[in-house]
Amino acid sequence: MIPVLWPGDLIYFSKKKTENLKENDLILAFKNEKLFAHRVIYRTAGYLITKGDNNILCDGRIYPRQVIGTVTKLNRGNQHIDLENFYLIQSTAYFSEINKINACLNSGKVNFIFLKGLPIHLYYEKNHPRRIYADCDVLIDKDQSVLVDKILLSEGFIKHETHYSPIHKYLKNKKTEITYSKKSNRIRIVFDIHYEANFLMNQLGSLSLLYSQKNINKLTSLFLQEKRIIKISGGNFPVLSADNLVIYLLLHYFHHNFRGVFRLSFIDKVIRKDKKIDWKEMAEKIEEYKLNNFMYPGLLLLKKYFLTPVDGNIMSGLKPGRRESAFIQHKALKENIFNDEERISAGINRFKYIFILSSEPLIKKFLVFFQPAVLYSAFWVLIRLLLKKKIKNYHKK
């Protein structure tokens, strides 16, 4: 999440009853002899969980007696910024660009859908987001990638390479997505253009030994074929069907190692608000594409933290095998969903989750370690961990 507050900002706050505080409120709190202004990321009847937007770790439980007030505005240099107006300006600038790209893609007869981002948020929340949006994800027919590239470049967007290194780029055996960005009214607008419904590790290219590329291709086609049109501010936006949206968001949550409670919170809102979800049909899709192991932990966490009304039949029908269930109980469900991870740790854990929860035979799974991109990535990570340890030991002297 992109931080709202910067070092040196002067903040203004007002008193607000703790029971009236909401998710995404920025509050001023006092804990362990420290005063801080952090975001509410989760709340219960008895306490809040807060976290700095740029922090790895959350602050733990914040009780009503520790809350001083809610942040309403800030001074940054010579600027006086009202938080609600700040969120609205960012959201408006983003939506203006999304509107343009939506119109251009439609006029170019591009087969595409918005996977997640501002259009989905506005449709379900009926209000602008009270945090800074980092990007907007769009799935396209990869056969039209040249046309989409031409459209985005003509609209002033710049294409970015996201490889860790030139060798990574060379070894990667397929391109799964590309990023475009531009500045609009000093606000950075980012589009992640996806060529397939990949939820594994984009930096490693194909991991078909762990999850069938055939299934990814079929899932991509399904998402594009079953699109629906939603209306926002008079515009028509192609998005995932209700069932497919829940599937995608849970796979995206898996991709982030079951971290980021705001992701889980939004899935809860979608399930509660969308009455068109067909749990039986969703279960059939999950079974057909062998997504059980990847999605089941997210469903358990929804019930644990949000009491989400997940269909009971889908829970019993999708329960993984004994080995995978043991791993989920002792590892996945023990993760602190309120904390983030450093980039290297996140990559290691993501690969671990994919490997263990893959339903492919064990012998086939081990063959993935002979893929050049995987071997080089392991070497690349090892070198960086050793350098990090060396730097840490140097500073201890």
| pLDDT band at residue 170 under the 50/70/90 scheme | low
90 and 72 housed in the same domain? no
pLDDT (0 to 100) of residue 103:
96
pLDDT over threshold 60, residue 394: no
pLDDT in tens, 245-274: 999 999 999 999 999 999 999 999 999 999
What's the pLDDT score for residue 227? Answer: 97
Residue 114's pLDDT band, with cuts at 50, 70 and 90, is very high
Residue 363 lies in a domain: no
End of a domain among 57, 77, 97?
Answer: 77
| CATH number of the domain residue 146 falls in | 3.30.460.40
Output the pLDDT for position 257: 93
Same domain assignment for residues 163 and 221: yes
Residue-level pLDDT at 52: 94
**Lowest-confidence range among 72-86, 222-236, 239-253, 353-367?**
72-86
Say whether both 181 and 57 belong to one domain. no
Single out the residue of 272, 285, 277, 351 nearest to residue 318, CA to CA.
285
pLDDT category at 320 given cuts 50, 70, 90 is confident
39 and 91 part of one domain: no
Residue 90: inside a domain, yes or no? yes
Looking at residue 248, what is its pLDDT? 97
Q: What is the CATH number of the domain that holds 21?
A: 2.30.30
> What is the structure's pLDDT at 169?
63
Domain boundary among 77, 100, 116: 77
One domain, residues 181 and 268: yes
Residues 91 and 69 in one domain: no
Q: What percent of the chain has pLDDT over 70?
A: 93
Looking at the domain assignment, is residue 334 inside a domain? yes
Q: Count the Cβ atoms, other than its own, within 10 Å of residue 236.
A: 11
User: Can you give the pLDDT at residue 176?
Assistant: 84
Q: Please check the confidence at residue 177 and state whether its pLDDT lies above 70.
A: yes
Structure confidence at residue 168 (pLDDT): 61
Mean pLDDT of the chain: 89
Question: pLDDT tens for residues 350-380?
Answer: 999 999 999 999 999 999 888 887 887 777 7
Q: Let me know if residue 222 belongs to a domain.
A: yes
**One domain for residues 202 and 344:** yes
Is 95 within a domain? yes
> Does the pLDDT of residue 212 top 80, yes or no?
yes
Tell me: do 55 and 109 sit in the same domain.
Answer: no
Same domain, 288 and 213: yes
Task: Say yes or no to pLDDT of 173 above 70.
Answer: no
- For residues 145 and 64, membership in a common domain is answered with no
Same domain? 28 vs 128: no
What pLDDT shows up at residue 200? 85
Please count the structural domains in the chain. 2
338 part of a folded domain: yes
Q: Which pTM was predicted? A: 0.92
375 assigned to some structural domain = no
Residue 146 tokens read as: 């040249």
From 58, 77, 96, give the residue that closes a domain: 77
171: pLDDT confidence band, cut at 50, 70 and 90?
Answer: low
Name the residue range of residue 59's domain. Answer: 10-77
Give yes or no: residues 266 and 170 share one domain: yes
